[in-house]
Amino acid sequence: MRYYLQEGNPIGKNQQGIKEFMERFGKFLTTTEDYKVRQIIDTTVSYIKSSSTIKQMYNAKIQFYRWDGTNDRLTCKICRSMDGRIFKTENAVKLLEKIENSDPSKLPEIKPFILKPQKGKSDTIKSIFAPAHPNCRCRMQAHFDDKSINTTVSRPDKVEVNDLQKELEEEFNNLSNQERINRIKSHLSATWVAKTQGGQFDFDKEHLKDHYKKHKKKFNFLTLDEYVKQSYEVIKNPENVYVQKHKKYISDKKTIKTTKYIFEKDRKIVVVNDDNLVITSYHKLYDEYTDYLDRFVRTKNGEKDKSENQQGNGQQNIPEEIGIIKIL
């Protein structure tokens, strides 16, 4: 194993190294079904992949790279919080050198696993490339600036300033414009149908069908396929993007926090759960609202909402705190 770590780029050009590595060790592992060892190997492979990518980018004089959280239903909250962050290739090379020149037992100090979602600025993060934790599937990608979009972090008028609101604003102010663009873009890989870890928020085909049935009239009888397709058009080219944080009180001590992205275009609204990149709704605003924000403020102030009876399964009575920002 030392050979693979020391050489740095055995996988080099065509990932031959990884193939070779897995051929030699992979089979052995599946037959013994040793999950722990498997995890160590997967984590090591992730490290080798990152290290090789970083060295290649450095040689190619690519100055910055982007953390790609893979962005599917299996992506954990930690990796979602790393997704889209931008780091200097040079800093990663320095960290690699430090790792390679020190005793393996020092690794947890030099490049610790990331144990909770990161909300601070990217330059305060120690572990600047994958793996973030065991079984991390994140990838590092070359980054080139995209100055075409200007994001903001603005607090809409008439919004209650609670702790959650402040936390949300701070979290997004800690991201650079480009990092916020990357976060928005990552929602292009959101899905309608997904099973999540632990099954806490499962979205099956019935969920999609229910929403389609509920909203199709407002869309002039789209087919289900068109309904899905159009929802992505809104995510692809939104007029406004909001981020909403919800804190639900399950009991006195227990709370659940979720983050939602709201995409708005031509009075059409797509809601994506950011924690697992699942689309939870696509609907049209009712005529009485000028835009999503108008609806947000009015329903928050106790007006009955017609556009989207969000939960519809008796969860409305759970006390909830909400924060919202407009980022595009």
Q: Do 118 and 136 touch, CB atoms closer than 8 A?
A: no
Spatial separation of the C-alpha atoms in residues 67 and 204, rounded to whole Å = 29
Which of 264/275 has CB closer to Zn ion? 275
Spatial separation of the C-alpha atoms in residues 238 and 181, rounded to whole Å = 12
For residue 140, state whether it binds Zn ion (rule: CB under 5 A): no
Residue 16 tokens read as: 């031959």
Binding-site member from 54, 136, 235, 243 for Zn ion (CB under 5 A): 136
Which of 68/171 has CB closer to Zn ion? 68
Which of 183/207 has CB closer to Zn ion? 183
H or E stretch at 45: helix 35-59
Which of 114/328 has CB closer to Zn ion? 114
**Count of residues in contact with Zn ion, rule CB under 5 A:** 4
Binding-site member from 132, 140, 262, 285 for Zn ion (CB under 5 A): 132
259 Cβ neighbours under 8 A, 6+ residues apart: 243, 244, 245, 246, 273, 274, 275
Least distance to Zn ion, CB of residue 132, Å: 4
Which of 79/272 has CB closer to Zn ion? 79
Residue closest to 308 by CA, chosen among 292, 325, 324: 292
Which of 68/308 has CB closer to Zn ion? 68
Binding mask 218-257 for Zn ion (x = CB under 5 A): ----------------------------------------
Which residues on neighbouring strands pair with residue 259, listed in sequence order? Answer: 245
Q: Which residues of 254-276 are buried (b: 16+ CB within 10 A; e: fewer)?
A: eeeeebbbbbbbebbbbbbbbbb
Report how far Cα 232 is from the mean position of its chain's Cα atoms: 17
Q: Do 202 and 192 touch, CB atoms closer than 8 A?
A: no
Of 75-83, 88-96, 161-169, 221-229, the segment contacting Zn ion by CB under 5 A is 75-83
Of 134-142, 174-182, 236-244, 298-306, the segment contacting Zn ion by CB under 5 A is 134-142
Q: How far separated are the first and last CA of the chain, in Å rounded?
A: 47
Of 8-16, 131-139, 247-255, 311-319, the segment contacting Zn ion by CB under 5 A is 131-139
User: Looking only at residues 31 through 60 of this chain, which bind Zn ion when binding is defined by CB under 5 A?
Assistant: none
Binding-site member from 41, 86, 96, 138 for Zn ion (CB under 5 A): 138
Query: Which residues sit at the interface with Zn ion, rule CB under 5 A?
Result: 79, 132, 136, 138
